[in-house]
Chains A and B, each alone.
Chain A
């Protein structure tokens, strides 16, 4: 007997994924950000923007005065809409689009921190490395246990966002305005890449720190480029066109691939065991 069959190997991978997610969700330090951050970004913020557009006429007028600061191509996208509709489209279709990426990034980052640094901190890695799961399957399982839930939460967050935004802005828009083609590309192409980037960052950070909290805090810096994208859009430097989103996805995938390639080396058994 020199190897294990594919069904056995996949069963082991599923077991690690299931265990990691169960364990992560049983910790408040992990599960609270899971709920709070998506609710803030995908429910509270769109509601606020929709209510602003509907009831705060003065704010809407001031925003109209500042349209010139945005990228001309973005301004052209909202030309022909009334001021309240411009607020809705600019805010909910474009300005919040980068922030949506925080959800998969954060979820993957937290889960990976718990799965790697957390498991090391809890002292449970040793029994795992003595099990028959191969190095390759262990790396795959550990990565999937952070990436799959992050993508799933991202998809749910996207659906919740579309429903919330369309419902809250219906009195202003009078029609469904989300998802747009750009959002579909964002969800299908960029969101999984953002999850992979959060995962890759956490894997690298986890191999160098001793606790979940350290990994979570240090890994949080990966959100900064996303905030920079939002500021760039408000400042008129960029706007989230379909092509920019396609390019952004490519950059994130490449960055994530590089981080995961580097991080996977730290997940080899012989590396893990000497750090226990």
Chain B
């Protein structure tokens, strides 16, 4: 009998597990339409279970990227692999494992909600004996049971969006491409979609690639964001990573009548900083990172009373506007 060593710890076992291959890999992916470069040499990897937001203005190349990754548009150059397969050579096999929510809902408005879902269940080859139950389940999950047998043409925009999301999910795809899922929705419908997205990523472990203009949605539900501009990827990282690349901002509240002295002290030590004064509150931007202790020390040394010092974390909106400049605010 061979002697057995100690049982490996859970951490060691986890470390020994091979990293799952990425769900999406794109390398130098390029698509031109005539002289226009819609997607320019895109390199992108999306891990299993990750939620990635593709951000960018209209025409930035987000939808074209999704179309190439789904194998419905051939690239001009570069390669892509989805589930380890080329979507251009194995389109049906790749698309069978994808759920796509196009920017326009693309529902058949002359059919009922149930007929729409049934149609796509057949197209995706969902097991025939389970289709009826699955359709009922999806209608209930998205709050459409009462409208199941009504023609979609009479639905509100929010109902159509929920039905389109149900259609994208009903065949239990491993990867979801969602193009502007909250576009044109009222706040209530938008929140419902956002909550659905959270459950998809956290509860169900699906991989999601989300094209959106909704920066709050991206900040709230995405693990990483990729910002595209004129077809090129200009930033990629977690929202906090991207935010940390922006210069630090600090709100400082000093004693009454001390704001002018505080401004002068900071300006002398940090000539590059922008300072906005409002009453006894100063907003300091464009500071070097890690400046907070120096600012406090500086003010104290100047004999000023520092009532509050609060670093202001940059939001995804700040990142986006920084990348797009004034154009981003248009």
Contact = CB atoms under 8 A, between A and B. Distances in A.
B111 A133 contact: no
B92 A130 contact: no
Interface in A1-35: 1-4, 8, 11-12, 14-16, 18-19, 22-23, 26-27
Contacts of B109: 122
6 contacts: A3-B90, A4-B125, A22-B111, A23-B111, A124-B108, A269-B72
B70 A130 contact: yes
Given A127-B102, A130-B95, A132-B93, A273 B124 contact: no
B321 interface: no
A4 B96 contact: yes
Contacts of B93: 1-4, 132
B73 interface: yes
A141 B115 CA distance: 18
Interface string A235-276: 000000000000000000000000000000000011001100
B123 A12 contact: yes
A126 interface: yes
Given A4-B93, A128-B123, A132-B124, 13 more contacts: A2-B85, A8-B125, A11-B122, A11-B125, A15-B123, A19-B108, A19-B115, A130-B98, A130-B102, A132-B95, A269-B73, A270-B74, A274-B33
Chain B interface size, as a band, is: 35 or more
A23 B96 contact: no
A178 interface: no
Interface string B79-123: 000000100001111011110101010111111000100011011
B167 interface: yes
Interface of A: 1-4, 8, 11-12, 14-16, 18-19, 22-23, 26-27, 122-135, 269-270, 273-274
Given A127-B102, A273-B73, A132 B122 contact: no
B123 A123 contact: no
A275 B37 CA distance: 17
Interface string B231-270: 0000000000000000000000000000000000000000
A127 B73 contact: no
B57 interface: no
Given A132-B93, A133-B123, A273-B67, A126 B111 contact: no
Contacts of A132: 91-93, 95-96, 123-125
B91 A23 contact: no
A23 B108 contact: yes
A23 B110 contact: yes
B111 A19 contact: yes
A139 to B, nearest CB: 14
B211 to A, nearest CB: 13
Contacts of A8: 125
Contacts of B96: 1, 4, 132
